[in-house]
Amino acid sequence: MCELFAMSSRKPSAVSYSLPAFAERGSFIRKNREGWGIAYGRDADVFLIKEAKPANDSPWVEFAAEQHLESHTVIAHVRHATVGQPSLQNTHPFRHIAQGRVHVFAHNGTLTGLLERYPRADLAYTPVGDTDSEHALCLLLGRLDHLTATPDEDLRHRIIAEFAAEMSGFGAFNFLYYDDTFLYAHAHRRVYEENGEFTAPRPPGLQIKNCRACASGPEIQCDGLNIQLADNHTILLASVPLDDTGWEPLPEGTLLVLKDGEEISRIETRGK
């Protein structure tokens, strides 16, 4: 099962990230063998590092962990492939340019029947790889196209919430999506490993930690993660809690809209 992580902060914070330890926290270290990636948002662009190899075997992971790169928005993903062969083009996060913005997307879950319902030839934007996840991103970008002339933020949030609700009908749809302004996080259902076996997908799909409500000081240290906080207006998201304090499960069918370490909106997607 894929593992997700994100940070949204008011000021750029230095993030040191050990993906092997992160995957192990999620109890899938032997399953997450098909790739990893980290996207650092800064200004109007994204610095993206990713590789279609096991995170625990890669010298690039060590390089990324040692750089302490500063960013106000970080998205990370460790992949267990279900749709699309292990390859760089199929490795999350995905990066596309549309509507004059850089868009970054990472997903865990499997969307059964999505490619048949929305054929590749009908998409306004063409995926580089052949995953259901990037297919979903390209479908979403097409639905947001008309907003270039009408920068209505509330309408943008509603379109993404309705999209999350629709995609959840195809399967587990936990995602992180950054459009160079907002970080969107959707919590749905995820597979868990119990007694060596995978469960059916169930909530919670994502966990949240608000650093304004915890007494961790200027530094956050937990399994696989070190953040030198420039500001306690910082929110962390992860597939599973990364330490034992301050994490709360997000209810199934919740879309969070974050900007610069603040929760802008929380939209229910179940029943839409």
Q: Is the pLDDT of residue 130 over 90?
A: yes
Lowest mean pLDDT among 9-23, 123-137, 180-194: 9-23
Arithmetic mean of pLDDT, 169-184: 97
Termini Cα distance of the chain: 27
Arithmetic mean of pLDDT, 9-27: 68
At residue 193, the pLDDT reads 76
At residue 27, the pLDDT reads 39
What's this model's pTM, rounded to 2 decimal places? 0.91
C-alpha 240/C-alpha 197 separation (Å) is 17
Arithmetic mean of pLDDT, 136-162: 92
C-alpha 39/C-alpha 47 separation (Å) is 6
Arithmetic mean of pLDDT, 77-104: 84
Q: Is the pLDDT of residue 182 over 90?
A: yes
- The structure tokens listed for 200 are 């059916």
Lowest mean pLDDT among 79-88, 94-103, 197-206: 79-88
The CATH code of the domain that includes 205 is 3.60.20.10
Q: Most confidently modeled of 54-63, 80-89, 191-200?
A: 191-200
Counting the structural domains of the chain, the total is 1
At residue 29, the pLDDT reads 42
Q: Is the pLDDT of residue 206 over 80?
A: yes
Mean pLDDT for all residues in the chain: 86
Q: Is the pLDDT of residue 72 over 90?
A: yes
- Domain around 192: 3-268
| Other beta carbons within 10 Å of 182 | 20
Residues 86-105 as b/e (b if ≥16 CB within 10 A, e otherwise) read eeeebbbbbbbebeebbbbb
